[in-house]
Amino acid sequence: MAAILDVISSMLFGGTLFMIILTSNEIATETQATYNGDMFVQELLTNTAQLVEGEFRNMGFNVPQALPSITRADSTAISFLTDLDRNGTIDTVKYTLGNITELPETPNELDCFLKRQVNNDPVMSVGAVTVFHLSYLTKEGVRIPSPVPHDRLGEVRMVEVTMEVQNPYAPARTASMVKSGERTALYSSSLWQQTRLSSQNTRR
Partner 1 sequence: MGGRASLIMVMGFGLVLGYLSTNLNRYSTQALNNMTSYYDATSSHALAVAGANAALAKFYTDTSWSGPMHQSIESGALTGSFTVTMVNVGTYQRRLRSVSTYAASGMGTLHDTVEVYFNTRAGSPFTQYAWFANNDGNVFWQNEDTVWGRAHANGNVHIAGSPVFMDKHTSAKRYDPPRPGTGTNQAIFKSGYESGVATIPYPTDLSIVINASNTGGKHYTHDISVNLVPGTGLNNDGVAAVVDLSTGTKDTVQLADAGFNGLLLSDGNVSVSGVLDGRLSVASLKNINVLDDCTYERNPRFGTSDDQLGLIAANNVVIKDNTANHTGCQIHAAIFTLTGSLVAENLTSLPICGDLMTYGCVIQNTEQEVGIYKAKGGGKSSLIAGFWKDFRYDKRFVDPNNAPPYFPGYYVQAYAISNWWESYRISALQ
**Which residues here bind partner 1, judged by CB under 8 A?**
17, 21, 24, 28, 31-32, 35-36, 38-39, 42-43, 46-47, 49-51, 53-55, 57-58, 61-62, 65-66, 86, 116, 124-126, 199-201, 204
Q: In this complex, which beta carbon is closest to partner 1, that of residue 45 or of residue 73? A: 45
Query: Taking the C-alpha atoms of 179, 182, 187 and 192 in order, what is their torsion angle to the nearest 10 degrees?
Result: -140
Tally Cβ neighbours within 10 Å of residue 140: 7
* Shortest Cβ 180–partner 1 spacing (Å): 30
Question: How far apart are the C-alpha atoms of 133 and 48, rounded to whole Å?
Answer: 14
Q: In this complex, which beta carbon is closest to partner 1, that of residue 125 or of residue 145? A: 125
The alpha helices in the chain, defined as continuous H runs, are 2-57
* Shortest Cβ 101–partner 1 spacing (Å): 19
* Shortest Cβ 186–partner 1 spacing (Å): 14
Q: In this complex, which beta carbon is closest to partner 1, that of residue 84 or of residue 146? A: 84
How distant, in Å, are the alpha carbons of 26, 46, 60 from that of 42?
24, 6, 29
The sheet that has 131-137: what strands, in order across it? 143-144, 131-137, 158-166, 189-197
* Shortest Cβ 144–partner 1 spacing (Å): 20
Give which of 199, 181, 188, 136 is closest to 162, Cα–Cα.
136
What values do phi and psi take at 189, rounded to 5?
-140, 145
Q: In this complex, which beta carbon is closest to partner 1, that of residue 62 or of residue 106? A: 62
Question: How far apart are the C-alpha atoms of 132 and 71, rounded to whole Å?
Answer: 19
* Shortest Cβ 57–partner 1 spacing (Å): 5
* Shortest Cβ 203–partner 1 spacing (Å): 8
Q: In this complex, which beta carbon is closest to partner 1, that of residue 69 or of residue 130? A: 69
Give the β-pairing of 189-197 and 158-166: antiparallel
Q: In this complex, which beta carbon is closest to partner 1, that of residue 36 or of residue 71? A: 36
